[in-house]
Amino acid sequence: MNVITINTENFQQVIDGWGTSLCWWANAVGGFTMKTECGDEKREELMQMFFSEEGLNLNIVRYNIGAGDNPDEKQHMFHFRGLPCFKSSKQATFDKEADKRQIWVLERALEIREGDMLIEAFVNSPPWWLTKSLCSAGNVKAEEENLSPDKYTEFIEYCAEVLSYLQDNLNIKVDYFVPMNEPASAYWAKGQRQEGNKVNAGDSQSILLSMADEKLKTIQANIEITGTDETNPMLAVESYHKLSEDVKERILKKINYHHYTTDTNALKELKEITYPDGFEKPRYKLWMDEVCYGDGEDNFDLAKNIIYAINRDINIAHVNAWVIWQAMDTLSENIATNCHWGLLEGMYQDKDNNELEGILDVSDMGFAFGDFITTNQYYVMGHYSKYIQKGYIVLANDDVEFSCVSAISPDKNTLVVVLYNDELNMQNITLNLAGFVPKKAVKVLSNMQKKWEVSELSSNQTNIELEAKTIVTLKYTR
């Protein structure tokens, strides 16, 4: 018998919520206008699956300020990954309709959430017409920055113009802004398939963050600065330590990192940076705000990557929020590469109007424009996002086997425990709730055969039979 003690008096970090980046899927879905059999637009069905209580209940979105690309060059951005820029060139006027697809998703998410949404704006690349290479995918040499220091002011002013438009014209409150994404990595080269920009750790990152903070204060935007959105925890730690003391002490309000490399020591260091005086007095917010998994078959061997990542990020780094990269990815590309990126896989392209040569036409496989497939990863994420809600407080537990994540509601009357059994045999688990006496208990179960299967338990049932390759969410209420 495995016994897991949930320390219901050991309060740790407060959860801000769960979310998704909007690029690139919102640039496609926001333009879906085809009708389902019931007469509703297909995009509405998708929005409900992501943002409603019946769906994933996501309350965080990361809005990508797009860079556009040079119209004089051959199109090279892969399938909706080239986000439109509000100014198509340096001389162009501000085009309020440029990013209407992504903004439709943003506004509809706010409506579904009834305003209960945290919004972060971020930048993959400055507008193409500000870059050295005149290409928003990166510099000619990926290891070199693509924005000259003498263009920093113009870049930040452009970002402020976009943020002002969102807030003043569209009444969309933006909570955080970061003017870079995976900046220290040498991934971003001219002509590649997505936007990117190298920004060296240290002075370059510090200057951009400082200038952003100064500019946003002049327009009274009340938007907090975050950074530095590096591709893995160790780079996040290294970039943080290279920031100027002024940025670390006065400007930076939240640390973002991506989880594309497992590094327990770096996660522990991020925790120490964030909570030097304990959980009650955090120095910063801490978000894991980008990761996706796709290599492999759509089964629990792939989906458990999300389980393990959430367990590490919640229990080791002690993040306040967990944000998936692609809530939805391109079905045609996934089929072509035998992958399953995204929580949903959607048919983006019309077979008669492909944006790029070489896009796989999957209509011959029976898929129509707007069709989508729901993956096991979608259901796995719901075991957390539907039940451990904004304001819940993470609790310590002594589990070493079952990726246990535990949290309690702000009023201390609802306790949520998520467990995963990766074994091929059923496991018997006893939960020690340490004085929490529930009046009601509910179990939610998912595996390859069952999805979000809900059953009621007796109020005092803490002996759990956990099926093989199964994730369970237990909700106790007193």
* pLDDT, tens digit (0-9, with 9 covering 90-100), for 414-462: 999 999 999 999 999 999 999 899 999 999 999 999 999 999 998 778 9
Question: So what's the pLDDT on residue 359?
Answer: 56
Residue 466 lies in a domain: yes
Residue 5 lies in a domain: no
- Average pLDDT over the chain reads 93
Angle at 278 between CA 277 and CA 284, to 5 degrees: 75
pLDDT band at 36 (very low <50, low <70, confident <90, very high): low
Question: So what's the pLDDT on residue 361?
Answer: 63
CATH code of residue 205: 3.20.20.80
Of 93-102, 251-260, 352-361, 390-399, least confident by mean pLDDT is 352-361
Q: What is the mean pLDDT of residues 282-304?
A: 96
Question: So what's the pLDDT on residue 356?
Answer: 47
Residue 6 lies in a domain: no
Residue 4 lies in a domain: no
The answer, yes or no, to whether the previous bond of 228 is cis (omega within 30 of 0) is: yes
203 and 343 in a single domain? The answer is: yes
The last residue of a domain, from among 332, 365, 390: 390
179 and 120 in a single domain? The answer is: yes
Residue type, position 215, single letter: K
Of residues 391 and 364, more confidence is placed in 391
Structure tokens at 26: 């919102």
% residues pLDDT > 90 (the chain): 84
371 and 420 in a single domain? The answer is: no
310 and 235 in a single domain? The answer is: yes
CATH code of residue 415: 2.60.40.1180
Question: So what's the pLDDT on residue 334?
Answer: 86
Question: So what's the pLDDT on residue 399?
Answer: 97
On the question of pLDDT at 358 being above 80, the answer is no
> Domain of 288?
17-390
The last residue of a domain, from among 341, 365, 390: 390
Which tens digits make up the pLDDT trace of 344-353? 998 876 555 5
382 and 422 in a single domain? The answer is: no
Question: So what's the pLDDT on residue 366?
Answer: 77
Enumerate the H helices of 7-63 as residue ranges.
Answer: 25-29, 42-51
Residue 313 lies in a domain: yes
pLDDT band at 4 (very low <50, low <70, confident <90, very high): very high
124 and 183 in a single domain? The answer is: yes
Of 280, 221, 402, 339, whose CA–CA distance to 12 is shortest?
280
Of 137-151, 289-303, 352-366, least confident by mean pLDDT is 352-366
Q: At which residue do the structure tokens 């370059």 appear?
A: 204
Are 345 and 329 in contact, with CB atoms under 8 Å apart? yes
| Overall number of domains in the chain | 2
Q: What is the rounded distance in angstroms from the CA atom of residue 122 to the CA atom of residue 99? A: 14
Please list the residues that pair with 477 across neighbouring strands.
414, 440
321 and 368 in a single domain? The answer is: yes
Q: What is the rounded distance in angstroms from the CA atom of residue 56 to the CA atom of residue 79? A: 25
400 and 298 in a single domain? The answer is: no
Residue 179 lies in a domain: yes
Residue 142 lies in a domain: yes
250 and 319 in a single domain? The answer is: yes
Question: So what's the pLDDT on residue 369?
Answer: 74
Q: What is the mean pLDDT of residues 91-110?
A: 96
Of 177, 325, 199, 179, whose CA–CA distance to 253 is shortest?
177
On the question of pLDDT at 314 being above 90, the answer is yes
The last residue of a domain, from among 363, 390, 417: 390
Of 441, 442, 433, 430, whose CA–CA distance to 478 is shortest?
441
371 and 327 in a single domain? The answer is: yes
315 and 407 in a single domain? The answer is: no
147 and 242 in a single domain? The answer is: yes
Residue 101 lies in a domain: yes
